[in-house]
Structure 1
Amino acid sequence: MSAAEPTLNDEVRTLYLDHHGWLHGWLRRRLANAGQAGYAADLAHDTFVRLLAREKPIAAREPRAFLATVARGLVANFHRRQALESAYQQALAALPEAEAPDPQTRALLLETLAELDRRLHALPAAVRRAFLLFQLDGMPQAAIAGELRVSVATVQRYIVRALHQCCFPA
């Protein structure tokens, strides 16, 4: 890299200085419909943190479109996490008090669920669906094959792939 080429940190700094306010407003408008506009600052921050974690230079020709694309993925993850937390809280509320985990265990379980959700969403939809039908619904592999219109061997490959993704992510 020559001295004239900006570093990744320089690119992110410039994007931040030039577009942070715009991105924060954009996110606030996006989240206002869901009553979650208070999270806009966090998601704007997370957008720039994600950019700092990149290995390649950004070189965005349309910086706002680029930032919006990154932020959209974070908003989708945010909504998925909110839905997961809500479902988790409902499941906990249904437990008898004596069986409910302590707050520390609850937090660990929620983080584990969120990580598994993130890993499963990195898989193609058919692989994820086969795995969930098998693991959560207890559906036989032959029935899953019929539902997905694939062979039983394909269902088996899907399940192995999903298990591998959950246990040994890249």
Structure 2
Amino acid sequence: MSVYQESEQQTIASLYRQHHSWLFRWLRGKVESTESAADISHDIFVTLLAREEQLLLEEPRAFLTTLAKRSVANHWRRQYVEKAYLEAISDIPEDLHPSEEEQAIIIESIVAINQRLQGLPLDVKRAFLHAQLDGMKQQEIAEKLSVSVSTVKRYLSRAAAQCYFAISVK
């Protein structure tokens, strides 16, 4: 481990000691359970440890609040996706339900796709999801969205590029 990495870990350890309790209390007021607050708090500090750029913090609580707000938004987004998924499979006979592990993987995949498609116009997202999840052909998507096939092609290219570049950057 380099001197830089050791110094950075010490900075994060100090940040943790000085602000973890405050961050946990702040999160506890924003989410439904102590366990969720603890998980989010933990994830924030793990993310900081995994960063490659140096932390230069003049206002550590403002920085942690920004990270926490993003994490809480992601938490609620995941809760929404999980609830919608569980409602969707509730119509399927229980003996055909995916295992809990498979469900967790499916939910994480949906959340990741949703995150990668963020910022795209609704019709672009719909076209992509119809093609990928519903297996619809471009002509069917065009009819469903009341647009031309060439527009659907542009939508699909845009969504695919967004997913590709989101994956390649990480």
Q: Give the shorter-chain TM-score range.
A: 0.7 to 0.9
| Cα deviation 1:40-93 (Å, max 9, x = unaligned) | 111111111111111111111110000010111111111100000000000010
Distance, in Å, in 2 between the alignment partners of 1:25 and 1:98 is 41
Cα RMSD for the two superposed structures: 3.1
Q: 1:71 aligns with which of 68, 72, 78?
A: 68
Q: Is the 8 A contact 2:142 2:149 kept in 1?
A: yes
CA distance in 2, matches of 1:56, 1:145: 46
- Report if aligned partners of 2:120, 2:159 keep a CA contact under 8 Å in 1: no
CA distance in 2, matches of 1:86, 1:165: 26
Counterpart in 2 of 1:93?
A: 90
Matching residue within 129, 133, 146 for 2:126:
133
Alignment of 1:141-160 (within 5 A): 141=142, 156-160=153-157
Shift of 1:160: 1.1
Cα distance in 1 for partners of 2:149, 2:7 equals: 50
Unaligned runs of 5+ in 2: none
What is the number of equivalent residue pairs in this alignment? 157
- For structure 1, the residue ranges without an aligned partner over 5 or more in a row are none
Comparing 49-58 and 17-26, the one that deviates more: 49-58
